[in-house]
Copies of this chain bind each other. A is one copy, B any other.
Amino acid sequence: MKLPTIRKPYLLFLGDSPDLLTAKTAIGVAHWRPEWCAGQMRLAGCAADAGLPDMTIAEAAGKGVGTLIVGVATTGGVLPDGWNGYMVEAIEAGLDIASGLHSRLADIPAIAEAAARHGRQVFDVRHPTQALECGTGKKRSGKRLLTVGTDCCVGKMFSALAIAREMEERGMGVDFRATGQTGIFIAGGGISVDAVVADFISGATEALSPDGDADHWDIIEGQGSLLHPAYAGVSLGLLHGSQPDALVLCHEAGRLAMDDMDGRPMPGIEETIDANLRAARVTNPDVRMVGICLNTRQLDESAAHAAIAETAEQFGLPCVDPVRTGVNPIVDLIEGL
């Protein structure tokens, strides 16, 4: 299976994002891949800033930009009508366009026609277009790490990226494998596993992380949680398809209720570790937990360090906050595997 590749460098389109959260895809891409980002384009009223030079589409084309990335969440996941013109302008200027919105840019006639006329690509990265197959469970060569979580939005993508970067800096053979829209822009390719047909979740993951050199690591971005009543199917297919040698558990310290689930209490770290190890053994009996990434954004500096130390002690595993402390203790353990 050939995964699509998004042409670099990027122009990040922030639209009229009123805040950072709305533009979190663009902010994430700018944070992790500044070298791929030529600039940002902001409309009147935009209060977000990815810290890149502001530029027009014409300026971006002049600088050889490959792709305009719609890096913003919109109401209903739909491109506002008023933005169609910018997409067409980008296509006419020779750029591909890419979006992580729920609704497809390729379904908007003006955009589809412009792309056909100018021979440009429209990547709707939430909508896999590649032919997928069912999983096989067959052992693949190389090593794999998957980030898993107690809940959605606890830092599974950030943790995977931080681990992959640290391994790269140590000269290890490593690839970050993206399974969601922001990750796909950061990796330059990948599969949005929650958007594939249910039969193909593990097969898509197998294709995303193919055979590798014996000492090469794929660091796979996790999704959802095995204990999440809406998304656990995605998490389990991803876990089986990853056949991980190593798992890293991600959790947000102090979160009491699951994200967007009407007050449903959070599952515990121990319960989540246990569920993931049991399920992972179906495709890799030798799986092990190699660390905990504790998102301590709700805590002050001293409470954060106390929580990290306490969690490490309680579970007998390296524990870090990738933002505050980096991920060295986890990568130290991985290096020894």
Contact = CB atoms under 8 A, between A and B. Distances in A.
Please report whether the interface of chain A is mostly helix, strand, loop or mixed according to DSSP.
helix
A194 B135 CA distance: 13
A230 B137 contact: yes
Interface string A223-260: 00011011111111110110000000000000000000
Given A197-B195, A275-B278, A278-B275, A134 B202 contact: no
Nearest to A233: B237
Nearest to A134: B230
Interface in A205-237: 226-227, 229-237
Contacts of A199: 194-195, 230-231, 234
A238 to B, nearest CB: 8
Nearest to A203: B230
Contacts of A275: 278-279
Q: For the complex formed by this chain, how many copies does it contain in all?
A: 2
Interface in A168-188: none
A198 interface: yes
B202 A233 contact: yes
Contacts of A69: none
Interface in A303-321: none
A233 B231 CA distance: 9
A201 B194 CA distance: 10
Interface string A59-75: 00000000000000000
Contact of A240 (B135, B201, B233, B241): B233
A283 to B, nearest CB: 5
B229 A198 contact: no
B261 A136 contact: yes
Interface in A127-158: 134-138
A262 B198 contact: no
4 A-B pairs with least C-beta separation: A233-B237, A137-B229, A135-B230, A201-B233
Given A137-B264, A236-B236, 10 more contacts: A135-B229, A138-B262, A193-B198, A194-B198, A197-B198, A198-B201, A198-B233, A226-B279, A232-B279, A233-B234
